[in-house]
Amino acid sequence: MNELENISSPVYREQLIRLGKKYGTPLYIYDSFKIEKQYIKMKNAFSGVKCFRINYACKANTNLNVLKFLQKLGSGLDTVSIQEVELGLKAGFPAKHIIFTPNCVSIQEIKKAVSFGVRINIDNLSILEQFGEDHTDYPVGIRINPHIMAGGNSKISVGHVDSKFGISYYQIPHMKKILKNTGLKIEGFHMHTGSDIHDVESFLQGAKVLFKIALDFPYIDYIDFGSGFKVPYRKNDIKTDLTYLSHSMTEKFKDFCKEYGKTVTLIFEPGKFLVSESGYFLVSVNVVKQTPSTVFAGVDSGFNHFLRPMFYDAYHCIENISNPNGRFRFYTVVGYICESDTFGLNRKISEIREGDFLCIKNAGAYCFSMSSNYNSRYRPSEVMILKGKDFLIRKRETMQDLLRNIVEIQI
Ligand SMILES: *Cc1c(COP(=O)(O)O)cnc(C)c1O
């Protein structure tokens, strides 16, 4: 499927339909070619930085095969739970290329990550102090809150003053005291200010804050600018201007290294940027239902499988791949869950008939990984396109999966 990246191409559409028939719907499809393309795009953009690393933020999509694919491309991993750390190790990432960046987890969970030998990123002073008491020989990264409002909206912005994430840069004096009292060393600084950041300036502002802090700490190995790269979700949508960002950032990073007197590693940890556009979510239309005000297309899925439109008001393109040449009409595409679960409101889509396959785009990031069994529905299967072939990479669930952890008692 490689060269057929454009869904408007009839051949690509035919392939998606073939997969829908072969594996059934609802179905997630990931095109590894697209993931590779994004990885290379970012790598090339920062080719001017001597030590540059991409750590895939795996909460976007944790299918083991996606992890293995990115590992093979040379990526590291950004993880936010001990389970993601374990998945990363299982996928073959060396421990030193995994960074554990949790928020509000227990000291026990952090100690477990130490036992796996992965890099630790601490985001509050209480844990820093507890950690320092018995891990003086295990340098850690520090997640800084640079106090920047970035990102699409307040739900996905995490670096502002009211955010629960990171150690405020106003707390640096206290942090220094803790380091002195415990003997703990810092190996890097980190920030992550949100998702869908439109404005390159907020990356640069954050970078400025981190550079200033880092100059006070002579032994660091890396500076990690997190992510928030915006990808387009519709035609003519804004995206992060990678060329502008890489030019300004490369320049500023070089200046920093010169002033710092040492070459440190620049890290980004994109999730969405790498996998969002690789994914397609295929659903079948169960019912076309006319009400006094609306034509609904009811599909065999809901927010149990695909939460972003309902949770973040995210816009995802929806195409009727079974009838691309039909007359365009207005539909509201909804799911089969007993809740309001609208995939797309009042969308212009080529005529929808019952049984048609609809394709929802940008389904590679934060889609399957946020799915649930609500309404006692099975979670969908996943397919990966690799070197032009399709592979089932997750089986559809069954009743056994729903009952797996139930302990039946005498009632
Ligand atoms: C979620 C997350 C990311 C990835 O964000 P995207 O917007 O998907 O690129 C990176 N770093 C951390 C710490 C995260 O929590």
- Average pLDDT in the 43-52 region? 97
Instruction: Give 76's pLDDT tier (boundaries 50, 70, 90).
Output: very high
The kind and range of the H/E element at 116 are helix 107-116
Residue ID of nearest Cα to ligand 1 atom 6 = 271
User: Which phi and psi angles does 380 have, rounded to 5°?
Assistant: -70, 170
Q: Is 200 in the pocket of ligand 1 (CB under 6 A)?
A: no
pLDDT of res. 203 = 86
The reply to whether ligand 1 has any atom less than 6 angstroms from the CB of 60 is: yes
Counting from 1 in the atom list of ligand 1, the atom nearest the Cα of 143 is 13
Mutate to test the pocket of ligand 1, among 239, 242, 269 (most ligand atoms within 8 A of CB): 269
pLDDT of 86 above 50:
yes
Angle between helices 32-45 and 64-73 (to 10 degrees): 40
For residues 238-255, average pLDDT: 93
Mean pLDDT of 58-80: 98
- pLDDT higher than 60, residue 156: no
The verdict on the CB of residue 78 being under 6 Å from ligand 1 is: yes
State in Å: Cα 62 to ligand 1 middle: 13
CA proximity to 69, closest of 31, 107, 99, 122:
31
Weakest-pLDDT range from 231-235, 397-401, 404-408: 231-235
Ligand 1 center from residue 102 Cα (angstroms): 11
Atom index in ligand 1 nearest the CA of residue 80 equals 15
Give the ligand 1 atom nearest the CA of 194. Answer: 7
**3-state SS string for 164-192:** CCCEEHHHHHHHHHHHHHHCCCEEEEECC
Which of 21-25, 78-82, 208-212 shows the lowest per-residue confidence on average (mean pLDDT)?
Answer: 208-212
101 lines ligand 1 (CB under 6 A): yes
Q: What is the whole-number distance in angstroms between the Cα of residue 80 and the centre of ligand 1? A: 9
Percent of the chain with pLDDT over 70: 95
What is the band of 3 on the pLDDT scale with cuts at 50, 70, 90?
A: very low
Please identify which of the residues 104, 338, 359, 367 carries the catalytic annotation.
338
Pocket-testing residue among 78, 239, 245, ligand 1, by greatest number of atoms within 8 A of Cβ: 78
CA distances from 316 to 138, 344, 385, 409 (A): 43, 7, 21, 44
From residue 241, alpha-carbon distances to 218, 237, 244, 270 in Å are 32, 12, 6, 14
The finding on whether 57 has its CB within 6 A of some atom of ligand 1 is yes
Question: Could you tell me if residue 177 is left (phi over 0), alpha (psi between -120 and 50 degrees) or otherwise beta?
Answer: alpha
- Global confidence as pTM: 0.95
Length of the chain: 411
Q: Which domains does the chain possess?
A: 10-29+276-403 (2.40.37.10), 101-269 (3.20.20.10)
Ligand 1 centroid to 361 CA: how many Å? 20
Ligand 1 mean position, distance from CA 183 (Å): 30
33 lines ligand 1 (CB under 6 A): no
Residue 229 CB less than 6 A away from ligand 1? yes
Pocket test for ligand 1, best of 118, 167, 195 (most atoms within 8 A of CB): 195
Pairing of strands 295-299, 328-334: parallel
pLDDT, tens digit (0-9, with 9 covering 90-100), for 258-308: 999 999 999 999 999 999 999 999 999 999 999 999 999 999 999 999 999
Report which ligand 1 atom has the smallest distance to the Cα of 229. 9
Q: What is the pLDDT of residues 94-120, one digit of tens each?
A: 999 999 999 999 999 999 999 999 999
The answer on pLDDT for 2 being more than 50 is no
Does 59 sit in the ligand 1 pocket, CB within 6 Å? Answer: yes
Residue whose Cα lies nearest atom 2 of ligand 1: it is 57
Tell me the per-residue pLDDT of 302-356, one tens digit each, with 9 for 90 and over. 999 999 999 999 999 999 999 999 999 999 999 999 999 999 999 999 999 999 9
pLDDT higher for 179 or 194?
A: 179
| Residue 195 scores a pLDDT above 60 | yes
What is the C-alpha radius of gyration for the chain, rounded to an integer number of angstroms? 23
Least-confidence region, from 104-108, 145-149, 184-188:
145-149
141 CB under 6 A from ligand 1?
no
Q: Which stretches of 171-278 are assigned E, i.e. beta strand?
A: 186-190, 222-224, 265-268
Q: What is the DSSP letter of 366?
A: S
Give me the mean pLDDT over the 173-200 stretch: 90
Confidence of residue 202 (pLDDT cuts 50, 70, 90): confident
Looking at residue 5, what is its pLDDT? 52
pLDDT at 150 over 70: no
- The reported pLDDT for the residue numbered 224 is 96
Which residue type occupies 295? V
Q: Is 257 tagged catalytic?
A: no
Ligand 1 neighbourhood includes 364 CB (under 6 angstroms): no
The predicted-structure confidence for 366-397, as pLDDT tens digits, reads as follows 999 999 999 999 999 999 999 999 999 999 99
Cβ of 163 closer than 6 Å to ligand 1, yes or no, is no
Q: With 80 as the cut, is the pLDDT of residue 197 above it?
A: no
Q: Are 330 and 288 in contact (CB under 8 A)?
A: no
pLDDT band at 174 (very low <50, low <70, confident <90, very high): very high
